[in-house]
Structure 1
Amino acid sequence: MGIKSFFAKPFARKVVKKHQKSHAQAIQIQENWLKNNLKKAEQTIFGQAYEFDKIRNYLEYKIRVPIAEYEDLKTYIDEMVLGSPNILWPGKPAYFAKTSGTTSGAKYIPISKESMPFHISGARDALLHYVNYSGNSAFLDQKLIFLSGSPALETKHGIPTGRLSGIVNHHVPGYLRSNQLPTYETNCIEDWEEKLEAIVQETMQERMGLISGIPPWVQMYFDRLETLSGQKIGDLFPDFQLFVTGGVNFEPYRQKLMDSIGRDIDVVETYPASEGFIAFQDSTGEEGLLLNVDGGIFFEFVPTDTYFTATPKRLMLSEVQLGVNYALLMSTNAGLWSYSIGDTVKFVSLNPFRIVVTGRIKHFISAFGEHVIAEEAERAMAEALKACPEASLVEFTLAPQVNPSAGELPYHEWLVEFAQAPQDPTKFQAVLEASMNAQNIYYKDLITGKVLQPLKLTILQPNAFIDYMKSQGKLGGQNKVPRLANDRVIADGLGS
C-alpha cells in the first residue's frame, strides 16, 4: 500500500463524518448560507438594487429577488466581463467559466475566490466517500486521467476564462499532480480528435487506476485504445478500478462502457456545474446523489408544473417532497441569485437529502401537450436494452414529427445509434412504446385518442452523433447532445 492510499482512509472517515453532521443540520446550514451570502453581497450593485440589507428570511428573499435565468443577469455579467468590480459579488471574479449558450451565445459564469474551493472539495469528497464505503484506496497510487477541457485560459480584462474542467485542472491537489494524466501540453490541445490521439499515446503503457470524464467521450477513448491494442480496456489497464463520471445520466452508457472494459468496475457519479458543485454519489447501496448542502450554495426548488406560470412556486429544502420534479435554483457565494441552471431534479431521499437529475427544464417534448421529459425517455431506453440484451447503445435523442407524410398521424421519432443493433428492432420499438405509455398518461391518451401514432425508431449510421457534434464544433470536452427537443434541428442534422 502506497502512502497516498494509506492516508486516504482516515481522511475519508473524517470527511464522511463531516457530511453526515452537515445533513443532520441541513436546513439550518442552508438558511445560514442564504444569510451569509446576502450579507456578503449587501454593498454590491445587485445587492443594493434588491435591498439585501432589508432581507431577514427566505420569505422576504423570494419576495424581493426574482428567479433569474442567464438572460436576466446578462447585463450585470457583461459589466463584470468588462472588468467592473462589486456587481454581483464583492470585487472581481477569480474566474469566468465559459459555457455554450443557445439564445445568448457564450455564457460567462462567475467563480469567486470563495466558491472555487467548493468545486474542488466536492470532487474530492466524492472520491473519499467511495474510499470509505468500498475500503478501496489503491487506485490513488496509480495513474489518474481526467478527460477535460483545455486548461489554457484566456483573459477577460484580467480575469482568467475557460471551461470549468480546464479551470479545475489548475486546482488539482498537489498530492495527485504526480499521478495525473494527460500532460498539461496534451490537455491544451484544442482539436478533440488530435487531443484524443495524444492522450491514447500517453496512456497506453501506463498503470491507470482511475478514469474520469463524460461517458460518450470516454467511450471514444476506449474505442481508440481497443483498436490500437487489440485488448479490452480492463486487460490493457489491469489496475483500472474506478470510473468517475458526471454531467449526464450514466445508465444509458453503462452497458457499452462495461463491454469495452471487459469486466465490471466501480462507478462514482458526480453532479458538477459551472455554478457550483451540486451533489455526488455517497453510497453504492442507495439511489441518488447526496446534495452538497454545505457547499456555498443556497438551493431552491420550483415544481416544474409551476415554472412557466406567472407565479412559480419556490421552495427551500425544508419544503421539498419525494418524487416531485423540481427546477433547481441556486444562490451562490459567487454572486448568482435564485439562478435557474436549467436542470430538473427529483428527491429520492429526505434523510439524507439525495437527488436524481431528471432532465432539463426546457428540454422536453410537448408538441401536443404530452410533456415527455428526459427521465421517462432514459427509463424507456433502459427497459428496451434490458429486453434486447444483445443491443448496445452509443447515443440517442428524440424529437416530434409534427408534419409527417400525407395521411400519417404525427409521432415521436427516436433517433438511435447502436454499437450493436437489436436483432428485432420491432420488439425494441415496442418496448420503448410500452414504457412511454406506462410512464406518461398524457402521451398514452394522445396515442389512444389517435392524436399521435406510436413512436418510430430510426437507427442511425455509425458515428452519426460524433459527426453531428463535429459539424457543430462541439466534439469532445464537456459537450452533450440533448436527449429531447421540441423542434427537429438536431434530428434533421443527424440526417434522419
Structure 2
Amino acid sequence: MTSLKSILAKVFAKYIFNKVQKWANKPLETQEQVFHNLIKRAKNTAFGIDHDFKDIKTHDDFVKRVPIRDYEAIKPYVERVVSGEENVLWKGKPEYFAKTSGTTSGVKYIPITKVAIEAQVNASRNAILLYIHETGKSAFVDGKMIFLQGSPVLNKKNGINIGRLSGIAAHYVPNYLQKNRMPSWDTNCIEDWDTKVNAIVEETVNENMTVIAGIPSWVQMYFEKLQQKTGKKIGEIYKNFNLFIFGGVNYEPYRAKFENLIGRKVDSIELYPASEGFFAFQDKQNEKGMLLQLHSGIFYEFVSVEDFFNENPKRITIKDVKVGVNYVLVISTNAGLWGYNIGDTVQFTSTKPYRVVVSGRIKHFISAFGEHVIGKEVEEAMQEATLNTDIRVSEFTVAPQITPAEGLPYHEWFIEFENEPENLSVLAEKIDMALQNQNSYYFDLIKGKVLQPLKITKVKKNGFQNYMKSIGKLGGQNKVPRLSNDRKIVEVFSHLGLIK
C-alpha cells in the first residue's frame, strides 16, 4: 500500500522539477541575474569598496577589477572576518566557518552565510526530488536514511560557529526527515571514526535502511563492518536499500567492490558539494554529468586549463564554454568569495542543460579516498623524514592502492634511492607521520582505519628516466608528476620492469 508520505513526495518532486526547469531553461539570464545581485549586495563591503563594485556593470568590468584568487590570496580578508569584523566580504558576518584542511595555508576557514547554507541544503534535497520525479520511485521515503558525515558539534569564534561542512549541514535536516534519519544525534557526535562506525552498525543493522549516503571510502568501511557482523551481503540485510548518494571522490574505482558488497546493483545519485558551495548534482540516471546549479547564489567563470597559468588567462562565463574542454572552476558567491579558484577542474558533458563532471585538480593530487593530498605535502613529508639522515632520494611518485591483495587500501610511494635507508619501514613510518601532521583528512583516514599507513616500493636505478623516455618526455621542462590519483604511471613502471 502506498503511503501518504510517498504520494506527497511525488507531488513535491513535480513542483521542484518545474522550478528547476525554469532556471535550467534560461541559463544565461539566470546567471546574469545572479551576477548583478551579488555585486549589488556586496558593493558596500570592504571588498566591494576596494574593488570598485559600484562601477561594475558587466562581466568585463568585473574581470578588470577582481583578479582570480585562491585561499592564500583572499586570506587577509578572511582573517578580518575571523577576528570579528563585519561587512568585509559579505554583508554582516557569516553564519558559519567551514574548517577545512589547508595546503599552503594550514587550516582554512571558508565563510558560509545563512543564504549559502540554505542553498546547499536545498540542492541536496532537490537532487533526491528530481530522482523521484524521473524514476517514480518514492517508497524509500518511508524507510530509514543514513548520512555518514562528520560530527555536528560546532565551536564558536567571535560569535561565528565553526565546524566541518557535513557537520554544519546536519543542523538543517528538514523536519519531515528527522524521524527517518540515522544515526542518532549522540552517535553522530562521536569524534573517533572507528568507534562511530561501530556504533552506527549497532544502531542500523536491524533497521529498514532505504537510502545510504556518504563518501564511498567511508561507506565501504560501514558496509564491511556490517558484513563482518552478520555474514550477509548488504542487500540481504537491507532488502529495501536501493539508493546510494555520494560525492567527494570518483565512485568508479569503488563501483565493482560496492556491487559485490551489496550483492546487486542499486541506483545512485552523484553530488558535487564543497565548503565553498554546492555546485552540481546528477539530475538524470542515464545522462553523464551533473546539473550545474545556476540559481544558487553562485556566479561561475571558467578558464581553460591550457590557458590558466598564462599571465592574463581568459575568463569566460557559461555562454562560451564548450563540451569536453578541461576548465578551472572559478566562483563568486553569496558567502563572499570573489573570483575564487577552488582548485577543481571540470568538463561540460552538455550545454542544454549545463552538465559537468569533475575532471580533477588544477595541480596534481591524490584524493582517491577524499584526502586531498597535494604535491607540496608529499614533498615536505619526504624532506622532513630524510632530514639529518644519509638517505638520498633521486626521484619519487605517489599513487593510491585502492584494491590491495589483502588489508586496507593505502598510499604507495615509489622511490628511487641514491642512498638507501637501512630500514625501509622506519622511513615509511616517518613519512606517514609527517603527512598526517600536514593533512587532517589523511590523518582522519588513518586514524579511522579507512587507510593503512603508506608503503614504499623501490624503483630501479634510472627507473624514472627510463619512464620519462618511454613516454617521450625525457628532459626539457618535463617533470614526473609527484603524485597522481590513479596508477597509470606505476602500471608503466611495472610493464617496463622498473620496480625492484
From the superposition, tell whether residues 397 and 414 of structure 1 become closer, same or farther in structure 2 (CA, over 3 Å).
farther
Following the alignment from structure 2 to structure 1, what is the Cα–Cα distance between the partners of residues 146 and 108? 27
Q: Is the 8 A contact 2:249 2:370 kept in 1?
A: no
TM-score scaled by structure 1? 0.78
Shift of 1:330: 0.8
Compared with structure 1, are the counterparts of its residues 145 and 25 closer, same or farther at alpha carbon in structure 2 (3 Å cutoff)? same
Structure 2 counterpart of 1:473: 443
Q: Does 1:356 align with 2:357?
A: yes
Counterpart CA distance in 1 for 2:103 and 2:260 is 35
Q: What CA deviation, in whole Å up to 9, does each residue of 1:48-67 have, x standing for no partner?
A: 00010000010111111000
Q: Would you say the 8 A contact 1:300–1:317 is kept in 2?
A: yes
C-alpha deviation, 1:106, in angstroms: 1.0
Distance (whole Å) between structure 2 residues aligned to residue 183 and residue 231 of structure 1: 24
Partner of 1:306 in structure 2? 307
**Match 2:403 to one of 402, 418, 427:** 418
The 1:299–1:214 alpha-carbon spacing in structure 2 relative to 1, beyond 3 Å, is: same
Give the structure 2 partner of residue 170 of structure 1.
171
The aligned counterpart of 2:226 is: 225
Alpha-carbon distance in 1 for matches of 2:142, 2:262: 20
Superposed displacement of residue 362, structure 1: 1.3
**In structure 1, how many angstroms separate the alpha carbons of the residues matched to 2:5 and 2:43?**
43
Provide the identity percentage. Answer: 47
Distance 1:10 1:212 in 2: 23
Provide, for residues 233-287 of structure 1, a one-character-per-residue CA deviation record: whole Å limited to 9, x for no partner.
0000111110000111111111101110011110000101111110000001211
Structure 1 contact 141–179 (Cα < 8 Å) conserved: yes
CA drift of 1:472 comes to: 4.5
Q: Does the 8 A contact of 1:118 with 1:277 survive in 2?
A: yes
CA contact (8 A) 2:96 2:111 kept: yes
- CA RMSD, Structure 1 to Structure 2 (Å): 3.4
1:333 maps to amino acid: N
2:364–2:483 Cα contact (<8 Å) kept:
no
CA separation of 1:351/1:472 partners in 2, compared to 1, >3 Å: closer, same or farther?
closer
Instruction: Please say if residues 397 and 416 of structure 1, whose CA atoms lie closer than 8 Å, have aligned partners that are also in contact.
Output: no
Residue number among 460, 477, 482 corresponding to 1:487 in the alignment: 482
Aligned partner of 2:473 in structure 1 is none
1:124 aligned partner: 125
**Which residue of structure 2 aligns with residue 65 of structure 1?**
66
CA distance in 1, matches of 2:402, 2:265: 23
Aligned length: 417
Distance 1:158 1:332, change over 3 A: same
1:315-394 maps to which residues of 2 (within 5 A)? 315-363=316-364
Distance 2:262 2:107 in 1: 36
For the structure 1 residues 224 and 194, does the alpha-carbon distance in structure 2 shift closer, same or farther, using more than 3 Å as the test? same
Amino acid in structure 1 at the alignment position of 2:444: K
Q: How far is 1:28 from its partner? A: 0.9
Query: Paired residue for 2:496?
Result: none
5+ residue gaps, structure 2, are: 380-393, 407-431, 453-479, 487-499
Shift of the 63–119 alpha-carbon distance from structure 1 to 2, 3 Å rule, reads same
CA contact (8 A) 1:4 1:141 kept: yes
Deviation per CA, 1:217-241, whole angstroms, max 9, x where unpaired?
1000000000011000000011111
2:144 paired residue number: 143
Cα deviation digits, residues 67-108 of structure 1 (max 9, x gap): 010011111111111111000000000111111111111111
Deviation at 1:3, TM superposition (A): 2.6
Amino acid at match of 1:279: A
Q: Which amino acid aligns with 1:473?
A: F
Question: For the residues of structure 2 that align with 1:202 and 1:243, how far apart are their CA atoms?
Answer: 19
In the other structure, the counterpart of 2:55 is 54
Q: How many Å separate the matches in 2 of 1:40 and 1:480?
A: 44
Question: Deviations 1:31-61 (Å, cap 9, x if unpaired)?
Answer: 1111100100011000000010000010111
1: CA distance, partners of 2:113 / 2:372: 36
Verify the 8 A CA contact 1:30 1:294 in the aligned structure 2: yes
Letter matched to residue 401 of structure 2: V
* Mapped partners of 1:359, 1:490: distance in 2: 9
3-state SS of paired residue (2:444): coil
Taking the aligned partners of 1:245 and 1:120, their CA distance within structure 2 comes to 15
- How far off is 1:474 after superposition? 2.0
Q: Secondary structure at the match of 2:114?
A: coil
Aligned residue type for 1:357: V
Q: Which amino acid aligns with 2:482?
A: D
d(CA) in 1 for partners of 2:62, 2:25 = 24
Residues 394 and 220 of structure 1: is their aligned pair in 2 closer, same or farther, counting only changes over 3 Å?
farther
Instruction: Return 5+ residue gaps in structure 1 as ranges.
Output: 365-372, 379-392, 402-408, 422-464
CA contact (8 A) 2:97 2:112 kept: yes
- Tell me what 1:271 maps to: 272
Write the deviation string for residues 298-325 of structure 1: whole angstroms up to 9, x where unpaired. Answer: 0000101111121111000101011100
- Aligned 8 A contact 1:396 1:415 in 2: no
Aligned position for 1:187:
188
Residue in structure 2 matched with residue 24 of structure 1 by the alignment: 25
Name 2:461's counterpart in structure 1: none
Change (3 A) 1:249 1:415: closer
> Which residue of 2 is the match for residue 200 of structure 1?
201
